[in-house]
Chain A
Amino acid sequence: MTQPYDVIIIGGGVVGCMIARTLSAYQLRLLLIEKEADIGMGASSANSAIVHAGYDPVPGSLKAKMNVAANPMWDNLAGELNFPFDRRGDYVVAVTADELQGLELLLEQGRKNGVPGMHLISAEEMRHREPNINPNVTGALWAPTGGLCDTFAVTVAAAENAVQNGCQVLLETAFESFLMEGSQIIGVHTNRGDFRARWVVNAAGLNADFVMHQAGVRPEFKITPRRGEYCVLDQAEISIHNVLFPVPSCGSKGILVTATLHGNTIIGPNAELLDREDHATTRAGLEEVTQGALKLVPSINLRHVIATFAGLRARGNARCETPGVNYDSDFIIEIPKEVRGLVNLGGIDSPGLTAAPAIARRVVELMEDAGEKFIQKRDYEPIRPPRPRFRHLSRAEQTALIQNDPRYARVVCRCELVTEGEIIAEIHAPIPARTYDAIKRRTWTGTGRCLGSFDMPRVVDILAREMGVSPLEITKKGSGSEFLYRTTKEVEAHHGA
């Protein structure tokens, strides 16, 4: 067995990675384990990518507190970690006279939560600010502190910065049970052996209930996956610059039409409770998403859909602990009394992405309260250096980059303009991208109009070459998802001869 860690984090989503990054500033031996072949394959890579202003959660809930505390942290975070972030503001748009009342309620709620700068704008002003908006718009709520990020880039950047500062990351390593001495947790048992630690953080997203149950904590807590489906629209055909929410109906923020930092417009998500994990998109779901989006932007044309995807929200059933607040799917962020050595999170659905940096801060505070001494590392490096993105460079910069490394001159993904140099850099990055989807999420290879039919054989080749394995071993998203099955007869005959 390896030497003991101070803290083991279960789950490499945005929450686990942000916690790892925050803890890596201190003199702690850290390990993050993730069951999948890459970090961020759960909810953290399939969401709306919105840094919420904070008018939506129920006042007094932990969700509201974390959201509003986290929102102002994002500018600094984006600066240090070098991921794309744009505080563009967002709109809730009313399209009937009745809905105007909904705007007033949200404004009131936002003020209670402490969201700055919100105000109502007229229908005319809204039409002016977003010319594609439904002409029947009756008014809108403007929240200037809303923002957009590249959600996957955030997760990778946080994890890489943690690795830079000494955190270890093990992929394809699944938590199975706790190692306990009496009521003291002393480590975790995984499919890849046992790892000891003084603290274990439960950041397992959809499996957070399973993890806490293994420690005997909150046996009544249950996560119900709540699926949200999306369509991605071709940026050559339509481009909405704003973040547009409908007036929410019961319990869901509704189907939105939003810009992404990548330039594509996305529409979605719907909200459907499932009895098991199912990431499939459905005809009915995509239909619902379309109808919802047309309410806000009638000119959306389904012919321009280039991709669809679904994300699962980890909907919990934890009651809000603030007295007098009647809300029963709040975040759990706690150090439970039943066991020692567990930092327990659960039910981190929306606005979990937004809240992640505040959740990480909160974890440190809770551990301090429990007696942990945090000593800052002397050589802590908060800056995670960016890697070049060919498509964002000027011609002069492109030329300089190529002169330095000619692999940046070979374009592998024609739609999104991704070069071989960028892909190779990701394969050898601090968190190595070793699957096709890992490359895709980091570089946007294969996310354009042709959905990878051009680049796929090329990326498989590059991965095989850089990893020194046969293309037959290259996977889309980890073992069991190999692209290729065998060589052709001709090739076999040739090798036999």
Chain B
Amino acid sequence: MALKEKYDVIIIGAGPGGLAAAISAKQNGAEDILIIERDLELGGILLQCIHNGFGVEIFKQDLPGPSYAQRFINEALSLGVDTLLDTMVLDISPDRRVFATNKTRGVIDVQARAIVLAMGCRERTRAQVRLPGTRPAGVYTAGTAQRWVNVEGYMPGKRYVILGSGDIGMIMARRLTFEGAKVERVLEVMPYLTGLMRNYVQCLLDFDIPLQLSHTVHRILGDKRVEAIESVQVDERWNPIKGTEEVIPCDTLLLSVGLIPENELSRKAGVIIDPLTGGPYVDDGFQTNVPGVFAAGNVVHVYDLVDWVTEAGFAAGKSAAKFALTLRARENRLIPLRADENVRYVVPHELNKDSLQEGNVRLQMRVKTPIEKPVWVEVRSGNLLVTRRAEPYARPGEMVTINLTPKEYDEVDRASELRIAIVPR
């Protein structure tokens, strides 16, 4: 695939949010669309979610993550959306240039008329829940373990404790049990379940995995590999209650302690982040504070159902297409004004052809070298003379002007650029 120099819409991230944005941008008239994804495949986090529970709202069907994603991948590809895989976006500028790298193309620098941020989210880690103790192998986020088990085919341990009753943790508890591992316990610091009730029933209750509310990990034990964790009960203000410590032998601690929208790139583009959601402030068309930069999916706030991510992606893609088409229309009406013979520069630099329907446009310029005899100030489109004006002389110290008038509209409308020259009469 040859990269275009400029795209109508560039989408960063090929999860359900990004895929929906691409599809809807295309359906709403955008032509050149590019999705950039750092992974080797399209689909985002869904590729490692091999359990059911996706698509109940949109398809009225209970699908595994990869199947849900595949429907949108197929649609996007059949609509002719360009994709760059194994490509990391490093930087976005406020004027919507996108910088990325990949192995075959090196440093990539493309211009977008509109951008949709769809980078998803990342998991919170042990530091953010301030888990003291040693730093052995065997402490993983639930998502990392999920990738190992479901994508790469490796079991990270034998005996597990899971911290956090989020959905990923509960789903992993069931998955690991299927694999013959022992999940000793799920600990939740809040006095209530933080994930979906259906996951509690289907993933923990059905497998006799105990859930302890108002409990957390007090410390991690083990030097090279986790040997045990010490759990503790907490009061309403999350302070450990003395005397409730319990050592639970295990070789792996999985953390399912929440997700944070991934907005490092957004910040670089000048997008302002809401400290409450962790994602950009957006308007009802999912536009951020930076004109032409839109956002959809978990990058905006963390969703519990993928169907709503898809819906948000559709909305953002539509707004992005609209923005890009408006820009494109303006770009088509815009032609450069170029300084030709004996002209140093012309202001304005570009002319919107439609301005001539409303009235005169005055061009201002400086000459390069003095001509101390009568001159023509000429405006040409190719060889065709559009208009000209006589002056008794031309001197660098004195600005020269010429007006384009509605009479010239037809010639200008056919022009791809105008050249302005000052020549002896």
Contact residues of A with B, CB < 8 Å? 232, 236, 279-283, 285-286, 302-303, 305-309, 395, 398-399, 402-403, 406-407, 409-411, 414-415, 417, 419, 436, 449-451, 453-454, 456-457, 461, 471-472, 475-491
Contacts and interface: CB of A to CB of B under 8 A. Distances in A.
B106 A402 contact: yes
Contacts of B220: 280
Contacts of B135: 279, 309
Nearest to A489: B179
B229 to A, nearest CB: 12
Given A279-B134, A280-B134, A283-B132, A308 B127 contact: yes
A487 B153 contact: yes
Contact of B38 (A282, A302, A414, A480): A414
A485 B155 contact: yes
Contacts of A479: 224
Nearest to B144: A453
B143 interface: yes
Contacts of A411: 38, 88, 90, 101
B154 A453 contact: no
A488 B103 contact: no
A411 B123 CA distance: 19
B158 interface: yes
A451 B156 contact: no
Nearest to B154: A484
B225 interface: yes
A402 B107 CA distance: 8
Which of B86, B135, B140, B267 counts the most chain A CB atoms within 10 A? B135
B225 A480 contact: yes
B103 A485 contact: no
Interface residues of B, number: 52
Contact of A236 (B90, B126, B180, B267): B267
A407 B102 CA distance: 9
B158 A451 contact: no
B285 interface: no
B271 to A, nearest CB: 13
Contacts of B125: 306, 449-451, 453
B180 A305 contact: no
Given A281-B133, A451-B125, A476-B136, A481 B101 contact: no
B130 interface: yes
A279 B223 contact: yes
Nearest to A471: B154
A302 B122 contact: no
B181 to A, nearest CB: 9
Given A395-B99, A410-B102, A481-B224, A472 B123 contact: no
B141 interface: yes
A486 B154 CA distance: 6
Which of A399, A453, A472, A490 counts the most chain B CB atoms within 10 A? A453
Interface in B170-217: 179-180
Contacts of B396: none
Nearest to B125: A451
B219 interface: yes
A486 B155 contact: yes
Which of B88, B128, B154, B251 counts the most chain A CB atoms within 10 A? B154
B55 to A, nearest CB: 24
B106 A406 contact: yes
Which of B102, B104, B126, B132 counts the most chain A CB atoms within 10 A? B132
A456 B144 contact: yes
B127 A306 contact: yes
Contacts of A486: 154-155
B152 interface: yes
Given A281-B132, A398-B101, A453-B143, A488 B153 contact: yes
Nearest to B223: A279
B123 to A, nearest CB: 5
A454 B132 contact: no
A465 to B, nearest CB: 13
30 contacts: A232-B127, A236-B267, A279-B134, A280-B220, A282-B132, A308-B132, A403-B106, A406-B104, A409-B102, A409-B103, A410-B102, A410-B103, A411-B38, A411-B101, A414-B38, A417-B90, A419-B101, A450-B125, A453-B140, A453-B143, A457-B144, A457-B147, A471-B154, A477-B137, A480-B225, A481-B137, A481-B224, A485-B156, A486-B155, A491-B154
Contacts of B122: 449-450, 453-454
Contacts of A406: 103-104, 106
Contacts of B267: 236
A250 to B, nearest CB: 26
Given A395-B99, A406-B106, A453-B125, A480 B224 contact: yes
Contacts of A488: 149, 153-155, 179
Interface string B14-58: 000000000000000000000000100000000000000000000
Given A411-B90, A453-B141, A481-B225, 20 more contacts: A236-B264, A279-B134, A280-B134, A283-B130, A283-B218, A306-B127, A406-B104, A409-B105, A414-B88, A414-B264, A451-B126, A453-B144, A457-B147, A471-B154, A472-B154, A481-B137, A481-B224, A483-B156, A485-B156, A487-B155
Contacts of B133: 280-282
Contact of A302 (B88, B107, B130, B152): B130
Nearest to B123: A453
A103 B143 CA distance: 51
Interface in B362-417: none
Nearest to A490: B153
A180 B99 CA distance: 64
Contacts of A398: 101, 107
Given A283-B132, A286-B132, A415 B264 contact: yes
Contacts of A309: 135
Given A398-B107, A409-B103, A483-B156, A476 B132 contact: no
A489 B180 contact: yes
A475 B225 CA distance: 10
B172 to A, nearest CB: 13
Contacts of B103: 406-407, 409-410
A409 B101 contact: yes
A308 B106 CA distance: 36
Interface in B95-126: 99, 101-107, 122-123, 125-126
B157 interface: yes
Contacts of B147: 457
Contacts of A395: 99, 107
Nearest to B106: A402
B303 interface: no
B137 A483 contact: yes
Nearest to A421: B103
A415 B127 CA distance: 15
Contacts of B218: 283
A484 B38 CA distance: 24
A66 B316 CA distance: 63
A472 B86 CA distance: 25
Interface in B209-249: 218-220, 223-225, 240
Contacts of A282: 132-133, 219
Which of A305, A407, A483 counts the most chain B CB atoms within 10 A? A483
B132 A487 contact: no
Nearest to B91: A395
A279 B132 CA distance: 11
Which of A461, A484, A491 counts the most chain B CB atoms within 10 A? A484
A16 B148 CA distance: 38
A399 B109 CA distance: 11
Nearest to A284: B132
A449 B124 CA distance: 9
A476 B130 contact: no
Across the A-B interface, the 5 shortest Cβ-Cβ residue pairs: A491-B153, A476-B137, A481-B224, A480-B224, A411-B88
A485 B127 contact: no
B66 to A, nearest CB: 14
A281 B144 CA distance: 24
Contacts of B136: 476, 481
